[in-house]
């Protein structure tokens, strides 16, 4: 009998499969824009299951990430001091303090998937050292697509597809803040399927934005996606060989 999180994963795969075609190739009709918010809630919910599993003594970190990310992004949008100056344009659900509420599950999916992906490596302090880097790795694919799709508009520019470098620093600092709490309370996963699926979630997020970038002429971003797949295949094969 399938568990609840198995059903969420199945629904996410279906939603992702539709999204990589409709969003990836700019076929999503305007009346279906709400599907983006559902995608974020599904991915965030599944990542939260993983965080719940590996943080039995620190499950309060899940709402910390959800609400903390909204507050941090609100500070950023109102001051421009953390991520740079930008304005949300697309409908990603109700706004809270000037930020779409879906930014909460979006950060949960990024943090949970990056944490699971870090488990492909085995060394001390990997959560603190790798998770912030992996979230920035994801953002290297997310932000160029967001700019092209006008999910949000930058009021500044930068060398990487017009995105200010300050934005990536903001992502790193925000993720490092959450990673510090996770590293303090996390325990080894005993549900290998849940961890493995969240590693796949990391790749699927890369793939969705990578394909969308490629179809919009941002071919360099697709190389970022390919690099994540290559690292996964190399590390996953190494783990299987060791085990």
The model's pLDDT over 180-190, given as tens digits with 9 standing for 90+, comes to: 999 999 999 99
Query: Does residue 120 contact residue 232 with C-beta atoms inside 8 Å?
Result: yes
Closest by CA position to 186, among listed 5, 69, 66, 53:
53
pLDDT of residue 223: 94
Burial tier of 242 (Cβ tally within 10 Å: 0-12, 13-18, 19+): exposed
Distance between CA atoms of 20 and 33, rounded to whole angstroms? 14
Closest by CA position to 203, among listed 123, 116, 121:
116
Torsion sign over Cα 140, 155, 171, 67? negative
pLDDT of residue 2: 66
What is the band of 57 on the pLDDT scale with cuts at 50, 70, 90?
Answer: very high
Query: Does residue 8 contact residue 42 with C-beta atoms inside 8 Å?
Result: yes
- How many C-beta neighbours within 10 Å does residue 177 have? 15
What is the band of 46 on the pLDDT scale with cuts at 50, 70, 90?
Answer: very high
Entry pTM: 0.95
pLDDT of residue 230: 95
H/E stretch holding 138 reads helix 126-149
Checking DSSP bridges between strand 99-100 and strand 95-96, what pairing results, if any? antiparallel
Between 239 and 160, residue with greater pLDDT: 160
Closest by CA position to 177, among listed 127, 139, 142:
127
pLDDT tens across 71-87, in order?
999 998 888 888 988 88
What is the band of 241 on the pLDDT scale with cuts at 50, 70, 90?
Answer: low
pLDDT tens across 139-168, in order?
999 999 988 888 888 888 899 999 999 999
pLDDT of 243 > 60? The answer is no
């Amino acid at each position: 009998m399938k568990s609840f999180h198995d059903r969420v994963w199945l629904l996410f795969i279906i939603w992702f499969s539709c999204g990589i075609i409709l969003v990836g190739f700019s076929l999503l009709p305007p009346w279906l824009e709400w599907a983006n918010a559902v995608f974020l809630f599904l991915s965030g919910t599944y990542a939260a299951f993983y965080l719940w599993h590996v943080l039995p003594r620190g499950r309060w970190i899940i709402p910390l990430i959800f609400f903390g990310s909204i507050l941090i992004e609100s500070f950023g949008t109102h001051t421009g001091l953390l991520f740079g100056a930008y304005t949300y344009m697309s409908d990603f659900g109700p706004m809270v303090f000037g930020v779409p509420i879906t930014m909460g599950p979006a950060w949960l999916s990024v943090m949970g998937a990056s944490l699971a992906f870090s488990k492909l490596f085995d060394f001390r302090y990997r959560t603190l050292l790798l998770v912030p880097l992996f979230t920035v790795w994801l953002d290297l694919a997310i932000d160029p697509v967001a700019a092209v799709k006008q999910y949000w508009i930058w009021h500044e520019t930068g060398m990487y597809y017009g995105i200010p470098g300050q934005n990536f620093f903001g992502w790193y600092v925000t993720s490092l803040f959450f990673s510090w709490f996770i590293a303090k309370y996390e325990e080894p996963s005993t549900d290998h399927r849940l961890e493995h699926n969240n590693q796949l979630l990391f790749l699927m997020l890369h793939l969705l934005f990578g394909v969308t970038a490629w179809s919009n002429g941002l071919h360099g971003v697709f190389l970022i996606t390919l690099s994540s797949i290559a690292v996964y295949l190399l590390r996953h094969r190494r783990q299987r060989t060791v085990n």
